[in-house]
Amino acid sequence: MNAPTRSDLVQRLCAAVAILFGIVTLIQGGRVLGGADPGYVVFRPLLLFNFAMGAVYIAAGIVIWRALASGRKFAGAIFLLNLLVLAGIALLWQGGGAVATQSLGAMGFRTVLWLVLFLVLGWRLRRATAG
């Protein structure tokens, strides 16, 4: 049995980050859906989107673990979807809608996280196909 390479470890780390982030998203979203007060105004459509995406993040992590190229595509799709939602809630917020500043920050964090995963997986894929 061969020891995992450093590149394999990068792929596994990306998968673990995706899975753990999905678990945390489900736990936190589930708490708020269950009635916990997060301390700010909750925009329910965003809460439901993020809760559902928690499961998608876990699925993406599993795909990243198993198949680098497919995992990169999955991460890219999640990044784009989160970016679209971020743009939508930013427009609502600017228009005085019921979107808390914390929601913008959290959605921005999600978007950047998935961009970083997409870029790291792309770097890893280029190295794998070049060598």
The pLDDT assigned to 55 comes to: 98
Between 102 and 100, whose confidence is greater?
A: 102
Q: Residue 3: is its pLDDT beyond 70?
A: no
Question: What average pLDDT does the segment 19-37 reach?
Answer: 96
Q: Residue 95: is its pLDDT beyond 90?
A: no
CA R_g for the chain:
16
Residue 65 burial (C-beta neighbours within 10 Å; 0-12, 13-18, 19+): middle
The pLDDT assigned to 87 comes to: 96
Average pLDDT in the chain? 92
The pLDDT assigned to 32 comes to: 95
72/68 Cα distance (integer angstroms) = 6
**Model confidence, pTM:** 0.91
Q: Is the CB of residue 82 less than 8 Å from the CB of residue 106?
A: no
Q: What percent of the chain has pLDDT over 70?
A: 95
Question: What average pLDDT does the segment 65-83 reach?
Answer: 97
The pLDDT assigned to 92 comes to: 86
The pLDDT assigned to 4 comes to: 65
Sorted by sequence, the CB contacts under 8 Å of residue 21 that are 6+ apart come out as 57, 113
